[in-house]
Amino acid sequence: MDTDLRQRRRAGLEFLGAVQHFAGKTLQPAAAAAYAAAVPAPPEELDERRESVTTALDGNAAWEFDRFLTRWVAEEIYVRALPAIEEIRPGVESWLDVENPSGTLTLADDLVPPAYWEHGFHLAPGGWDGHDLMGPAISELVFAYVLTPGGVGAVRTGENLNDQRAQVAAEAPRGSYRRIVEFGASSGRFTFALRARFPDAAITAVELSETALRHAYALAARSDARIDWVQAPAEDSGVDSDSADLVAFYTLMHEVPAEANRRILAEAFRILEPGGDLLISEIAPYATQSAFRAVVLDWETENRGEPYWREVMDMDLPHELAEAGFVDIRSYGVGGGVYPWVTRATKPAR
């Protein structure tokens, strides 16, 4: 999509990306080094880790400016991105008007969104559909100009969001699939990675946000990627039982409450055929993270519009998968690190 932003709008967004890059590349490592020097044997429990970091870094300029700038950018991106998308509205609306679709778009006119949907993910004003062009505003402006160069959440500064999604798609157990269902597809960054990895599979992408789905549908049409986009909650997708041989989702779980995640796992089990695979990428458990890094990630819960982050990070995902009926459960970091973090499981064959 050619956004053709006015120079002032583009420069404002690029400035936010530079600020986020400075915070993640310079300030945060300085704070981490200061903490490591002050606390050579950090605690293991999260509450103690939080207290330890707060105490050790009280008055530390790198730490306090890193947190301040990260929160400021998280709010400011919408202050700048939404007026910017408004200025180019006619071009965006024309681009979203798909004349030659390569898949389908099924919107739910009578959808009653789950309660958690009202909590305003990532500080987005009015929520993920709080603006009728929120989908392209986030994917084409916020991600392109701010979060890709600056990093966000578990994605460190300098890492490539799309490369990581391609890496996760490559972790699916088989070399080919007949039908793939993705939950929480948003504008399709992981969906397109699955399409590239499995070009012959039928793909159904399930997402709650109408603005994200319209953006994804237009992207797919312009890249001739046959994908069926469906508006529904992941825990009640409407997909037929025993109809998919792969269900996949990428960083969906921390966006919804723990109980909703249990229903999502049950839904994945329902729609998988016997012997089908489940592929999940999510933030690595805090136990795999350093004390400082765990606190940085957990900070998102109260400070960056991630109300369910902490409770989901406290879930024992392998245990929950076993409770849902899955077998052959394995969790690991791709490439030996902790992000992307992958969990794979299988529905038992009859």
Is 178 a domain residue? yes
25-27-28 Cα angle (round to 5): 75
Pairing between β-strand 228-231 and β-strand 244-250 as defined by DSSP bridges: unpaired
Task: Look at residue 154 in the predicted model and tell me its pLDDT.
Answer: 77
Q: 192 is written with which tokens?
A: 């397109």
Q: Give the residue among 194, 295, 310, 312 at the shortest CA–CA distance from 253.
A: 312
Give the domain extent around 227.
Answer: 7-346
Whether 168 shows a pLDDT value over 80: the answer reads yes
Cβ atoms 100, 221 nearer than 8 A: yes
Is 127 a domain residue? yes
For residue 77, name the pLDDT band (cuts at 50, 70, 90): very high
User: Could you read off the pLDDT of 32-61 as tens digits, one per residue?
Assistant: 999 999 999 999 999 999 999 999 999 999
Q: What is the CATH number of the domain that holds 102?
A: 3.40.50.150
Average pLDDT score over the chain: 94
Is 84 a domain residue? yes
Q: How far apart are CA 109 and CA 179, in angstroms?
A: 26
Q: What percent of the chain has pLDDT above 70?
A: 99
Whether 22 shows a pLDDT value over 80: the answer reads yes
Task: Look at residue 156 in the predicted model and tell me its pLDDT.
Answer: 82
User: Could you read off the pLDDT of 251-284 as tens digits, one per residue?
Assistant: 999 999 999 999 999 999 999 999 999 999 999 9
* 16: CB partners within 8 A, 6+ apart: 73, 76, 77, 80, 145, 146, 150
Q: How far apart are CA 137 and CA 89, in angstroms?
A: 10
Is 1 a domain residue? no
pTM: 0.95
**Structural domain count of the chain:** 1
Peptide bond into 340 cis (omega under 30): yes
Task: Look at residue 343 in the predicted model and tell me its pLDDT.
Answer: 98
- Torsion angle, alpha carbons of 317, 322, 324, 325, to 10: 150
Is 2 a domain residue? no
- Residue with tokens 């723990």, as numbered in its chain: 258
